Structure 1
Amino acid sequence: MNQVQSLIESHPHWPAVESIYHKLQAHGYKAFLAGGCVRDALLGITANDLDLATDATPENVESLFSKTVNVGKSFGVMRVIVEGADIEVATFRNDGTYSDGRRPENVVFSSPEEDAERRDFTVNALFYDLTTHQVLDFVEGQKDLKARILRTVGQAERRFEEDNLRLLRAARFSAQLNFELEPASFAAVKKMAPKVKSVSGERIRDEMTKLLKTEHASRGLQVMKDSGLMNVLFPFRLRKNEWVKNPLATESWQRLALFVRGAQGTELSPVLDMLKLSSRDRRAIEDAWKIWQDPQLVLKNSLGKQLQMLAKEGVVFALRILLSEAVEKAAIELLLAEWKSWQEMLPRPFLNGEDLKGRLSGPAIGVCLDKAFEQQLERQLQSRDEALLWLKKYLERESS
């Protein structure tokens, strides 16, 4: 068994793919593995997904399989659900005119050769025949794989004009594969860099998330800087474009937070606006950024207030990064140790608004509860009984 076949068959979705493939073949249709999974197998990497390309139309696919999802039927793209796996099954196609810099106005179902020629990069335009166990290469993608070169299929400017996101994908795949962007392809990215502005924030965010997750993200970021993409999208990174993968950053928002760390006050908000982040991710990134600008925003407070601030995940992440850099090391170590002693979550307050009903009113209620909770977090109040006794004395002082 060759390396490609071995890696494909070791994939958790292989049984589902094999089932789909045999059913298509039994009904007279061609079907090949396509795109990134073939590329990765040739590189000795297990792919995230196994995708199939076929001459069966979306209607044919729908009629053959009981569970299908129409994700882009007009473009020939369906998803087939088999044995709990969600497999993309796309019809060989030739794209029509692109007028919006994102998608073709129409497609014509075609052949594997024509399907390969409409793809973005040669290394992503390979097919694998599951019957003959042979790679089908119509664009010299295997040659570029061996040379570790990222090259557009056909004329570079045309490929980037079709979908402006491909400009950013060039940087991302340079990072993901650790490949050199071929000179003509790089020249086209440099010439067309301003067009990346037309790409939606969601697509830019998703592409940057993938880029920053790679082992060689610094290579992709350098491509962005050298080509002008960085100047268009993230000009603040021109001041300092260093990137070292940080093991503390395990979530996408954390990597994005580190990416925008060098933004100055007026630069951050427009970038976060553009990226169309979820409210949770945006809040966490903003909280982390503020702490990186001034750790004393946390550390100057009483222990009780510091612990309350750690309820924000962005604050905790920022402090852990600072600790890894030996910034305010002693203070942060003590604080994070105390936070850990609370199982890294705030306890239920001993006192609540019901305890103050008819005894305080308005803002005074919040002030009192805040003080009581602060005392609780500093372990000066160990139980509700102690808190009620504290409250009695507090009210006596307030009324005197």
Structure 2
Amino acid sequence: MQSLLQSHPHWPAVESIYHRLQAHGYMAFLAGGCVRDALLGVQAHDLDLATNATPEKVESLFSKTVNVGKSFGVMRVLVEGADIEVATFRNDGTYSDGRRPENVVFSSPQEDAQRRDFTVNALFYDLATAQVLDYVEGQKDLKARVLRTVGDAERRFEEDHLRLLRAARFSAQLNFELEPVSFAAVKKMAEKVKSVSGERIREEMTKLLKTEHADHGLQVMKDSGLMKVLFPFRLRKNDWVKNSLATEAWQRLAMFVRSAQGTELVVVLDMLKLSTRDRRAIEDAWKVWQDPQTVLKNSLGKQLQMLAKEGVVFALRILLSEAVEKTAIEFLLAEWKSWQEVLPRPFLNGEDVKGRLTGPAIGVCLDKAFEQQLERQLQSRDEALLWLKKYLERESS
């Protein structure tokens, strides 16, 4: 375990912070997910520290800090090229909004472990003794591959309603079974997930869909009632096959909403508060999946113009991987590749037809010229100007 932690690129930064805190009389432990992952033989994404030093003390001991939640005891320390979260041991006060405590009281590691969500996320690692500190039997649950809330399950979920969805996400991420009492609490309280902001739901779903066992997490969502509350369209078909072509978050979300009907899609995308770029890409992909002929029935020039939309390209590549319209899509994507997957600059522009055409006729003419260019019937601007001359003669006659 120690060697795995030491292999993390941010280990030198963690050691530097630890030694500085220790030199001033404070304890500091690695905390949460990084300890869990190390025990599972997996390198964590982030190394987080927990300490009995107050945020103000952390701020005074390090030259570069970021206040990300000082009132909740959370600071970030920038040292040796790393950005390390350093949180003060705490007890949480009353949760009145199902999201965050109204106040916190700085406390001990034993008390800090009791306020965390799941036992496997409530472990500490003492750098001085190279020992895991476990106040909640988290190691036992790790060995049993069980996800269990710390303490009373309903209370944990009532404190932060996002934990309902995190139960499904961690089930997928760790490929653990959700312990029966914890599962029963999720099922009983599933409706409360409605109070969670779209941004937080999107973040959790993005993480869930990225995991190797996303199908397990989606099944937990369905069985517990979370799916019915958030994504009822998935009750019709909740299968999930990981596709290596879906590398970006929006692409995995596009695959997730693929089976939604039109009105259902609008509701889901509104809820998830996506960026304009991501929403448009998902919508474009969804339209192609509903009917590939919306692209393939067009002329080659028009098809290539449609491929300028990343959602369309992604959708076609997925269909190709599923052997749908294989010949047509292979040909089209090969043509797209021959253009380096970027539309060229049109040979003709508005200045070329200025005073010669008016209104919509201008756009019609330029569109036809660009189609001819993409189909390689026009190879240069000179050829395009000659084509324009003949086009105008035909139009005038």
Distance (Å, rounded) in 2 between the aligned partners of 1:10 and 1:383:
56
1:130 aligns with 2:107: no
Structure 1: gaps of 5 or more residues: none
| 1:105 corresponds to | 102
The secondary structure found in structure 1 opposite 2:266 is helix
Distance (Å, rounded) in 1 between the aligned partners of 2:362 and 2:68:
53
Distance (Å, rounded) in 2 between the aligned partners of 1:125 and 1:384:
67
| 1:89 corresponds to | 86
| 1:358 corresponds to | 355
Count of matched residue pairs: 397
Alignment deviations for residues 231-290 of structure 1 (CA, whole Å, 9 cap, x no partner): 000000000000011001000000000000000111100000000000000000000000
1:356, distance to aligned residue in structure 2 (A): 1.4
| 1:6 corresponds to | 3
| 1:248 corresponds to | 245
Alignment deviations for residues 262-319 of structure 1 (CA, whole Å, 9 cap, x no partner): 0011110000000000000000000000000000000000000000000000000000
Distance (Å, rounded) in 2 between the aligned partners of 1:126 and 1:388:
72
Taking structure 2 as the reference length, the TM-score comes to: 1.00
Distance (Å, rounded) in 2 between the aligned partners of 1:350 and 1:7:
58
Amino acid at match of 2:35: V
Distance (Å, rounded) in 2 between the aligned partners of 1:392 and 1:153:
78
| 1:159 corresponds to | 156
1:127, distance to aligned residue in structure 2 (A): 0.2
| 2:366 corresponds to | 369
1:364, distance to aligned residue in structure 2 (A): 1.3
The secondary structure found in structure 1 opposite 2:71 is helix
Among candidates 190, 214, 217, match of residue 211 of structure 2: 214
| 2:24 corresponds to | 27
Taking structure 1 as the reference length, the TM-score comes to: 0.99
The secondary structure found in structure 2 opposite 1:246 is coil
Alignment deviations for residues 76-111 of structure 1 (CA, whole Å, 9 cap, x no partner): 000011122110000000000000000000000000
Alignment deviations for residues 350-379 of structure 1 (CA, whole Å, 9 cap, x no partner): 111111122112211111110100000000
The 5 Å alignment of 1:280-295 reads 280-295=277-292
Runs of 4+ in 1 over 4 A off after TM superposition: none
CA RMSD, Structure 1 to Structure 2 (Å): 0.5
Distance (Å, rounded) in 2 between the aligned partners of 1:367 and 1:61:
66
The 5 Å alignment of 1:1-400 reads 4-400=1-397
Structure 2: gaps of 5 or more residues: none
Alignment deviations for residues 97-130 of structure 1 (CA, whole Å, 9 cap, x no partner): 0000000000000000000000000000000000
Distance (Å, rounded) in 2 between the aligned partners of 1:326 and 1:128:
50
Q: Percent identity?
A: 90
Distance (Å, rounded) in 1 between the aligned partners of 2:28 and 2:16:
12
Higher alpha-carbon deviation: 308-317 or 357-366 = 357-366
1:190, distance to aligned residue in structure 2 (A): 0.1
The secondary structure found in structure 2 opposite 1:220 is helix
Distance (Å, rounded) in 2 between the aligned partners of 1:20 and 1:310:
50
